[in-house]
Amino acid sequence: MAAPPARARADYDYLIKLLLIGDSGVGKSCLLLRFSDGSFTTSFITTIGIDFKIRTIELDGKRIKLQIWDTAGQERFRTITTDIRNWIRNIEQHASDNVNKILVGNKADMDESKRAVPTSKGQALADEYGIKFFETVSDAC
55 found inside a domain: yes
Check whether residue 58 and residue 25 sit in a common domain: yes
Check whether residue 5 and residue 59 sit in a common domain: yes
27 found inside a domain: yes
How far is it, in rounded angstroms, from Cα 103 to Cα 125? 9
Check whether residue 10 and residue 60 sit in a common domain: yes
**Total tally of structural domains belonging to the chain:** 2
Contacts for 54 with CB less than 8 Å, ≥ 6 apart: 36, 65, 66, 67, 68
Check which CATH number belongs to the domain holding 51 and give it: 3.40.50.300
Range of the domain at 102: 95-141
Digitized pLDDT (tens) for each residue of the chain, 141 residues in all: 444 455 555 789 998 888 777 777 777 777 777 777 766 665 556 555 567 788 899 999 999 998 888 876 544 444 443 477 887 887 888 888 888 888 888 878 888 787 777 888 889 989 999 999 999 876 655
How far is it, in rounded angstroms, from Cα 6 to Cα 57? 20
Check whether residue 39 and residue 66 sit in a common domain: yes
Question: Do 66 and 56 contact (CB within 8 A), yes or no?
Answer: yes
